[in-house]
Amino acid sequence: MLDGNAIAGTLSAAFGGDMTLVVSKCGGCGARGPLAETAVYVRAPGLVMRCRSCDAVLVVVVERDGRYCVDIRGVAELCTSTTTPTLP
């Protein structure tokens, strides 16, 4: 198991920008967190991102011949976030 940091390149290619700081809300349990923190499985058919709280599938990314198809049924919401950690 990896996390969202490891597939940042593929997400960036699919979405057109860095996605690791984007905060997702799980469509199953409602937990929120940056995509960098999701549990990622790269040996499934496609890349599978799962909720770290309830294990529901959030996102599946399939690549073929340089084209990307992203299944986001498991996500209730995607929100941009600040680019810096919580500062004092």
Partner 1 sequence: MNWSIATVVDVLAETHRTASIVLRVPGWPGHRAGQHVDVRLTAEDGYQAQRSYSIASAPEDDTLMLTVERLDDGEVSSYLAGELRAGDELELRGPIGGYFVWDGPFGGPLMLIGGGSGIVPLRAMLRHRIARAGAVPVRLLYSARTLSEVIYHDELLAAAREPGVDIRLTLTREQPDGWDGYDRRIDRDLVADAGFAAADRPLVYVCGPTAFVEVAADALVSLGHEPGRIRTERFGPTGR
Both structure tokens of 58: 């959030």
User: 25, 37, 56, 71: which one contacts partner 1 (CB under 8 A)?
Assistant: 37
Q: Does 67 bind partner 1 (CB under 8 A)?
A: no
Both structure tokens of 74: 């498991």
Query: Do 61 and 19 contact (CB within 8 A), yes or no?
Result: no
Both structure tokens of 21: 């700081």
In the bound complex, what is the minimum distance in angstroms from residue 53's beta carbon to partner 1?
13
Q: Does 12 bind partner 1 (CB under 8 A)?
A: yes
Both structure tokens of 65: 């011949």
Residues that bind partner 1 (CB under 8 A): 1-10, 12-13, 18, 20-21, 34, 36-37, 42-43, 83-88
